[in-house]
Structure 1
Amino acid sequence: MNGRLLMRPAVLAALLAPCVPAHALDVLRAQQDIPATAAGAMLSADGCPTGAPERPLRLAEAVARSLCSNPKTRQAWADVKAQAAGVGAARAAYLPTVSANWQGMRENSVVDIENHPALGSDYTATVRSEGVSLNWLLFDFGGREATLRNANALLEAARATQDATLQEEFATVAKDYFGAQTAMGELDAARDVESMTRQSMVAAQARTERGVAPVTDALQAQTQHEQAVFSLTKAESDMQTALGTLASDMNLDPSVALEVPAVTEDARTDATFSEPVAQMIRDVQTAHPSVRAAQAQYEAALAKVSQTRAQGLPSISLVGKYSRDNQPESMGLGLPTYPATGHEAYVGIQVSIPLFEGFGRHYQTDQARAQAERQLDSVDDARRQVALDVWTSFQALTGATSNAQNSARLLDIAQQAWKAAQHRYDAGVGNILELLNTQAALANAKQRRIQALAGWDTARVELASKLGRLELDSISGQRYQWEGK
């Protein structure tokens, strides 16, 4: 046997199957803080929804489903588990290694000496040997310590990256949820506009038939109604697309039937972040998950420099071995062999001193040092990016808050104008152009109102995500109750 183990694909798949928790055996306690689900600390182990989505689908359920089952969050979770296992491997380097071996063979030895048959030999024996060896690294000029620091820093980076991924996915599914609400609201508005234009078309046709209005009034009203039908068809298609996108965020088939509540027009759209934007930027440059991940990567790179340097320094190990066998022995040439047993044992200190590595260690250390410098630049870039993201999102929220309030006033004025124009037209003192213009303005105001409300919700989610403050506990009903933390 050559020591290789050939494994069938089915057996390998069974070994890799997640039927047993990855950290079921964690003697070195490296995996004890791994979250139970891909949602991390945002959701408890039993909080992941199962079965068909509720009708109507609430934002909290949509977010929970996405955090638990989206491939991006699962990948980030797997990275944390992998890095935690790396910490365990680094801790294991402080422990001794013990190995055992056993060998059994059937030995046949024949020696024929020409012209001296008495000096020949012929024996057959079953020979066995077994042994145990010990190797314990005692001192290596900080190599193992640097390796452990590197592994711990990489684990912290993986955890921070998971937090950033959860924040990003939270924001994505929330924006898509509000997008679905917007599409639903625009569909309802398109139905209202279609009904409104149909009533105007009927009224114009009636006046034309009575000879009160010219035929052009009826044709213009009919044209606007056909445009409303066109918009209604598009709104239906946009709603299905938005629902399919939301289903995909939750790792469901896009064809799964979903139902989301409509946007409420009486929503409060006041400011929800009371602290100054400058304070937000200062906080996010130290606390945001992406900054923490970059900082941890930098610390890992620094540890890698020490680790690379230490690998070229001497090491001291405790070594030991015990072995025994039953190799037959002969007292001399031509004499018969006799059964025998033997054993060997030793214990001692082994000093390994790398004398010359062709200057490779020097360049490897320089490479690790340059990578650490590069990672330090990544930390600065992460801080710059999160500051810009917060500033941009804050300004977007400020504008969305104002537009949400402006859209309410615009809708109220447009409704009053349309009612007045409709009354004037029915009374015979108004013309069709006045009615159709106010009708189009009202349809536009309805659409702007829906988009403004959804845009305000999206802007709040975006800012909270850039601040790293998105939490499932902050969801109350359909809206977020954030306060400046």
Structure 2
Amino acid sequence: MIFKCRPLPALPLNRPYSQVLPNAMKHTLVASSLMLTLGLAGCASDSLTLAPSSPDKPWLPGADGSTESLQTRARNAGALALSEPVVNKNKTYTLPELIDLAQRSNPETRAAWEQARQAALAVGMAEATYLPIITANVIGGTNNNSAELPIPIGGNAYFDTDIQGVVPFVALQWLAFDFGGRSAVVEGAKNLSLASNYQFNAVHQHLIYAVTSAFHDYNAARAHARASSQALANSRTVYDAVKARRDRGLATSVDLAQAEQIVAQEELRVVQSRGAEQDAYQALLGAVGISPMSKIKIEDTRNRGIPSSANVPVKTMVEVALANRPDVLAGYASLEASREGIKKAKSDFMPKIGVFGTLSTYETQFNAGGLPSVENNGLNGNIMFGASIPLYDSGLREANLKEARSRVATAEKNYEQLKDVAAREIVVASNALTSAIQANASAVKLRQAAYKTYDSALEAYQNGVGTVSALATAQNGLLDARLAESDAREAAFTAAANLAFVLGTSTSRTVPPASR
């Protein structure tokens, strides 16, 4: 839409604009303004072209060039590049070293730290309300007035006046007393800051447990890969034994086919176990918080002793945990903060007493009808004491008080539930550690027995008194026993780390029991 405007006729400078503007021109100006407004309003809906054209088809980037521009900006800013980990490729990382690396590299700890800093700054902002607010201001302006004279004077039919002035001033505003409203806000902010600090510790403890669990999962996957490789070697030994008997005419083609099947089956297991090992490795890198492209060496736990079970009564462990678990302490701090909210809501029913003051200078100039101008300036200051007493607000303060009490009731229930969950987690974790240690001892015996069975079955077959089926069964039993032992071993380490986690005793200054 194109608007064409014709020039307005020249207007006398000594008459108001409305008195000389023709009626037709007034109508034209109003119509043009209306059409311009409607035309500009239509521009807002044009931005719908930036959205997908229909709900049943995916959006195709690049239609308007915005995607290429975004990709270029992201690429130039380095936003598409993966982070480069600060790791030593030639170093074998132990579990404590991986935990230390995670605490320095994982973005979760950084985000939790920033949240704790924000909560600390909120305390400072709340305390700042005790201090006065001082502002510098300036007001300036001009006023022009033209009045028609009943009788022209000196050829002038209008009398013009002009007033100009500037008033800079400093204003003071200070809430001196509010019956505990600000103190409740400050105490609430302090409790929330404590809660945020404990949540920061909770993030660290959760990170320690996550890295520990991923570390032992990777070692279990690595043990599976070793067991599968050993099972493949054993299957080839079985195949060689069957083939040797077949060459002497002592084994059937079915026996040889079974031996080949055993080898193929173990080859498949090797491939699967190696894939699972790589997946566990990536999970460990993710828990640490470093790039998936990283190549680091991980400590092997085969020669590490199994952790011992907890010899402390469960009740004692629960009491210790409730005094150390950061999530429990954070929950109590949040409860205390909500209680301060009741004090703040009650203070809203009381008057507020404040001090107000200004200090200003002014300078004005007055011109009238060609007369000599009049200038005036000066200094002005005042200080006042005031009180604001709430009388009626349609029940808003009462509703705020009820809401604050409801928040306290909710926080109390959440805190009680948090303690119950913590106690239950401790009982379960303690039982899991005991079961894992017992399972490991049983798995060791199972593996020893499976070795004897396999050796006996192989020897019997080589001496012509065994069968391929019995040998295959012994081979599979040995593999299952090895896998069960590695799983039970790493599960014991993980259970010990989990117990330390639910007790709230694993911090950056201590090594989890599973890694001692």
- TM-score (norm: length of structure 1): 0.82
**Which moves more between the two structures, 252-261 or 209-218?**
252-261
The CA deviation at 1:283 is 2.0
Distance 2:514 2:350 in 1: 60
Q: Which has the larger radius of gyration?
A: 2
The CA deviation at 1:76 is 2.2
User: In the alignment, what sits opposite 1:424?
Assistant: 460
The alignment partner of 2:151 has SS state of: coil
Q: Which amino acid aligns with 2:271?
A: T
User: In the alignment, what sits opposite 2:32?
Assistant: none
Return closer, same or farther for 1:306/1:473 CA change in 2, 3 Å cut-off. closer
User: In the alignment, what sits opposite 1:79?
Assistant: 115
2:204 is equivalent to residue 163 of structure 1: no
Q: How much identity, in percent, do the aligned residues show?
A: 24
Q: 2:412 aligns with which of 361, 369, 376?
A: 376
User: In the alignment, what sits opposite 1:328?
Assistant: 365
The CA deviation at 1:129 is 1.9
Contact 1:127 1:326 in 2 (8 A): yes
Q: Which amino acid aligns with 1:190?
A: S
The CA deviation at 1:112 is 5.4
Q: 1:216 aligns with which of 249, 254, 260?
A: 254
Cα deviation 1:388-407 (Å, max 9, x = unaligned): 00001110000001111222
**Which moves more between the two structures, 348-357 or 99-108?**
99-108
User: In the alignment, what sits opposite 1:480?
Assistant: 515
**Which moves more between the two structures, 183-192 or 70-79?**
70-79
The alignment partner of 2:364 has SS state of: coil
1:47-58 counterparts in 2 under 5 A?
50-51=86-87, 55-58=91-94
Distance 2:124 2:434 in 1: 48
Q: 2:185 aligns with which of 135, 147, 155?
A: 147
Q: 2:276 aligns with which of 222, 230, 238?
A: 238
User: In the alignment, what sits opposite 1:306?
Assistant: 343
Contact 2:324 2:505 in 1 (8 A): no
Q: 1:457 aligns with which of 493, 496, 499?
A: 493
Contact 1:411 1:446 in 2 (8 A): yes
User: In the alignment, what sits opposite 2:14?
Assistant: none
Return closer, same or farther for 1:364/1:433 CA change in 2, 3 Å cut-off. same
The CA deviation at 1:53 is 5.9
Contact 1:123 1:337 in 2 (8 A): no
Q: Which amino acid aligns with 2:237?
A: Q
Contact 1:121 1:336 in 2 (8 A): no
The CA deviation at 1:384 is 0.2
Cα deviation 1:352-400 (Å, max 9, x = unaligned): 1111111110111011101111100011000000000000111000000
The CA deviation at 1:480 is 2.4
Contact 2:93 2:297 in 1 (8 A): yes
Gap runs ≥5 in structure 1:
1-48
Distance 1:59 1:267 in 2: 12
The CA deviation at 1:272 is 5.2
2:158 is equivalent to residue 94 of structure 1: no
RMSD of aligned alpha carbons: 2.6
The CA deviation at 1:224 is 1.5
Distance 1:296 1:472 in 2: 22
Q: Which amino acid aligns with 1:193?
A: A
The CA deviation at 1:291 is 1.1
**Which moves more between the two structures, 234-243 or 334-343?**
334-343
2:316 is equivalent to residue 269 of structure 1: no
Q: Which amino acid aligns with 1:257?
A: K
The CA deviation at 1:200 is 1.0
2:442 is equivalent to residue 410 of structure 1: no
User: In the alignment, what sits opposite 1:61?
Assistant: 97
Cα deviation 1:20-72 (Å, max 9, x = unaligned): xxxxxxxxxxxxxxxxxxxxxxxxxxxxx834666433322332333334343
Distance 2:206 2:514 in 1: 18
Q: 2:330 aligns with which of 270, 286, 293?
A: 293
Distance 1:435 1:349 in 2: 100
User: In the alignment, what sits opposite 1:283?
Assistant: 320
Return closer, same or farther for 1:472/1:306 CA change in 2, 3 Å cut-off. closer
Q: 2:175 aligns with which of 128, 137, 140?
A: 137
Contact 1:474 1:480 in 2 (8 A): no
Q: Which amino acid aligns with 1:84?
A: A
Q: 2:356 aligns with which of 319, 325, 331?
A: 319
Return closer, same or farther for 1:263/1:425 CA change in 2, 3 Å cut-off. farther
Q: 2:392 aligns with which of 349, 356, 361?
A: 356
The CA deviation at 1:293 is 1.3
The CA deviation at 1:175 is 0.6
Gap runs ≥5 in structure 2:
1-84
Contact 1:173 1:246 in 2 (8 A): yes
User: In the alignment, what sits opposite 2:471?
Assistant: 435
Distance 1:315 1:103 in 2: 29
Distance 1:389 1:199 in 2: 48
Cα deviation 1:316-375 (Å, max 9, x = unaligned): 112111011111257x99964322202221012111111111111011101110111110
Distance 2:132 2:310 in 1: 55
The CA deviation at 1:156 is 1.2
Q: 2:379 aligns with which of 318, 343, 346?
A: 343
**Which moves more between the two structures, 231-240 or 309-318?**
309-318
Contact 1:181 1:454 in 2 (8 A): yes
Contact 1:322 1:346 in 2 (8 A): yes
Distance 2:145 2:130 in 1: 46
2:216 is equivalent to residue 178 of structure 1: yes
2:165 is equivalent to residue 127 of structure 1: yes
Distance 1:110 1:252 in 2: 76
Contact 2:309 2:437 in 1 (8 A): no
The alignment partner of 2:93 has SS state of: coil
Contact 1:244 1:256 in 2 (8 A): no
Q: Which amino acid aligns with 1:221?
A: A
Q: Which amino acid aligns with 1:300?
A: A
Aligned length: 431
User: In the alignment, what sits opposite 2:434?
Assistant: 398
Cα deviation 1:89-110 (Å, max 9, x = unaligned): 1110111110001245566665
User: In the alignment, what sits opposite 2:238?
Assistant: 200
